[in-house]
Amino acid sequence: MTQGDAGGTKLAVKAATKRYGDFHALKDCSLDIGANSVVSIVGPSGCGKTTLLWAMSGLNPLTSGEVLLDGTPIDRPRPEVGLVFQEANLLPWRNLMDNILFPFEIKRQQPDRAWIDHLLDRVSLKGFEKSFPNELSGGMQQRGSIVRALSLQPSVLLMDEPFGALDAFTREEMNQLVEEIWLETKTTIVFITHSIEEALFLSDQVVVLTPRPGRVLNVYDVPFERPRTMEIMASKEVFDLTNQIKADIYGQQIAGRAAAE
Amino acid sequence: MSEDVVGGKVGKGLQSLSTFGAGTSRLEVLAIIATAVIVIGGLELVLRWFEVPHYILPPPSAIVAALWTDFPLILPHLGYTLVVLLSGFAIGAGIGLILAAVITQFPFAEKIIAPYILILVTTPMLALVPLLILWFGFGYEPRIIAVALATGPMVMINSATGFRRVDANKIALARSYGASTLQIFWKVRAPMALPMILVGLMIGAIFGLLTAVGAEMVGGGFGLGNRLTTYSSMIRMPQFFGVVLILSLLGILIYVIFFLIGKKWTSWET
């Protein structure tokens, strides 16, 4: 029961191409993301990870190809899709609660206070509702931004290297938190990261992208049970997978350098 | 406690005001009072000891006494100056703010207009007062227009800097929730620009005060600036310095008002 419960495809990327002038950030990139699964996208810098994620968010349209959410094309931001940014991206002039209510203000919707309370409790931010971002640690800010993204109960959560700026210990805590949240909500999560360890801990599948032009090189299944314990993460299977993914990424870099010479 | 933005951007001299009050120990208060007593008292003693004539430099006690007795005569002029300053500031700051908000949405138009705004900022608007008097006479109009002309460009150029401070991620955040252009303006761009807007308003208000007093000195029979020329021509220097004192207090009041607004609304910016 590692791959999604409901099965089926939640997000389908079809021949996605994104050009900036002559530069192909993505070229004919295709990918299916199952409902209720966690999929990580890894790859060297400049492989189009973020471009792909932003295409899924509807914020940055593709040059050609499409992204389907439950079968309908995403051509603008959709309420079912939550987005967590690289930096926590809280609005510094609002306290934590006002930041979490920001989406509801924009949408002129009544917030579900009980759900927000539950989420705050879940990420241990109860009692910090009145704190301003500059009074919170980096980890707390990012937890706040996760609450903001989940407050609208999205069916897809897009996370763009959310923990890249955090220290290693905080990062591990955050990974466990994401796992717990997923176990509770079964929200489909697309997770961009530079860390193979993080990708393997969180994901049902790890997608390796190649740069210039960005396209899918390999998709690895990560068939371990959850919650993923230290023993599982230290097992030979995980070690082997890590090495395969590393070989993919470094192989590309060596090939890229050879091609450049 | 985060550093106040307005205090931080206005320069070290004024910034010391922000350390006054907040977290000042009893010893420091005593030292500040002692210094004031020594400076003012010393000035008093020196001026009296050398019997400096009042028309050269009146001692502090004479200035206070003149202010005390002549304040009812000066008060209406303070009122006239405030009318000029407040109405000119409101007109200039209003137009400057709106222009800044609109023009920063159109970078191309901004590039074309920028040199003219810079000329307006760098030209002392006092230079136009004789012309404005020729056009509008000796009443309030030329003064209010001069103050508006001095305030507006200052507010505009600083606010434009604020509105140009775009954080693409914060705008993307708002857009991801389907925010309209207007919502993005009010909920993201405007709050982000607020610290710089406040700086612009404060500098604009101080330039407005300078211009108001200058314009009153050039033409017309009322206002604090006019009192300065009147008292100096009558060689009533204690009254003259009394008016100068009122003007510096006005300047400090402007600073304190914006300092407090900044402290309340922009302390999120570190």
What string of H, E and C letters represents the secondary structure of A201-229?
HHCCEEEEEECCCCEEEEEEECCCCCCCC
For B81, the token pair is 């100056």
Q: What per-residue string of b and e applies to A39-67 under the rule 16 or more CB within 10 Å gives b? A: bbbbbbeebbbbbbbbbbbbbeebeebbb
* Cα distance between residue B170 and residue A29, in whole Å: 28
pLDDT digit string (tens) for B216-256? 998 778 999 999 999 999 999 999 999 999 999 999 999 99
Minimum-distance CB partner of B268 among A57, A106, A132: A132
Partners of A58 on chain B (C-beta within 8 Å) are: 176
What is residue B21's predicted lDDT score, i.e. its pLDDT?
52
User: Which residue ranges form the domains of chain A, and what is each CATH number?
Assistant: 1-80+158-163+190-222+244-252 (3.40.50.300)
Amino acid at B241: F
**A213 pLDDT exceeds 80?**
yes
What is residue B63's predicted lDDT score, i.e. its pLDDT?
94
How distant is the Cα of A78 from the closest Cα of chain B, in angstroms?
A: 7
Report ipTM for this prediction: 0.86
Query: What count of residues does chain A have?
Result: 261
Q: Is residue B41 part of a domain?
A: yes
| Best residue of A93, A98, A153, A157 to probe chain B, by most B CBs closer than 10 Å | A93
What is residue A230's predicted lDDT score, i.e. its pLDDT?
86
Interface of A with B (CB under 8 A): 57-59, 76-77, 79, 81, 83, 85-87, 89, 91-93, 102-103, 105-107, 132-134
* Structural domain boundaries, residue B98: 5-265
Q: What is the DSSP string of A137-205?
A: -HHHHHHHHHHHHHTT--SEEEEESTTTTS-HHHHHHHHHHHHHHHHHH--EEEEE-S-HHHHHHH-SE
pLDDT digit string (tens) for A9-63? 999 999 899 988 888 888 888 999 999 999 999 988 777 888 899 999 999 889 9
Minimum-distance CB partner of B174 among A57, A76, A106: A106
Q: Which residue has the higher pLDDT, A100 or A231?
A: A100
- Determine whether the interchain pair A77/B169 forms a contact, defined as Cβ–Cβ distance below 8 Å: no
Mean pLDDT of B134-144: 93
**B2 pLDDT exceeds 50?**
no
Query: What count of residues does chain B have?
Result: 270
Q: Which residue has the higher pLDDT, A70 or B220?
A: A70
Partners of A77 on chain B (C-beta within 8 Å) are: 175-178
Mean pLDDT of B130-137: 92
Cβ atoms of A125 and A88 within 8 Å: the answer is: no
Partners of B269 on chain A (C-beta within 8 Å) are: 92-93
Q: What are phi and psi of A59, to 5 degrees?
A: -85, -25
Q: Is residue B270 part of a domain?
A: no
Q: Please, what is the average pLDDT of chain A? A: 89
CATH code of the domain in which B120 resides:
1.10.3720.10
pLDDT-derived band of residue A253, with 50, 70 and 90 as boundaries?
A: low
**A117 pLDDT exceeds 50?**
yes
Calculated CA dihedral for residues B17, B19, B20, B25, nearest 10 degrees: -160
**A250 pLDDT exceeds 60?**
yes
Partners of B189 on chain A (C-beta within 8 Å) are: none
Count of C-beta atoms within a 10 Å radius of residue B176: 24
What is residue B183's predicted lDDT score, i.e. its pLDDT?
94
- Determine whether the interchain pair A134/B177 forms a contact, defined as Cβ–Cβ distance below 8 Å: no
Cβ atoms of A119 and A177 within 8 Å: the answer is: no
Mean pLDDT of B156-183: 92
Q: Is residue B34 part of a domain?
A: yes
**B9 pLDDT exceeds 60?**
no
Total count of domains within chain B: 1
pLDDT digit string (tens) for A159-185? 999 998 888 888 898 999 999 999 999
Q: Is residue B81 part of a domain?
A: yes
Q: What is the DSSP string of A97-120?
A: HHHHHHHHHHHT----HHHHHHHH
Count of C-beta atoms within a 10 Å radius of residue B235: 10
pLDDT digit string (tens) for B28-72? 899 999 999 999 999 999 999 999 998 889 999 999 999 999 999
Mean pLDDT of B180-197: 93
pLDDT-derived band of residue B5, with 50, 70 and 90 as boundaries?
A: very low
pLDDT digit string (tens) for A90-101? 999 999 999 999
**B1 pLDDT exceeds 80?**
no
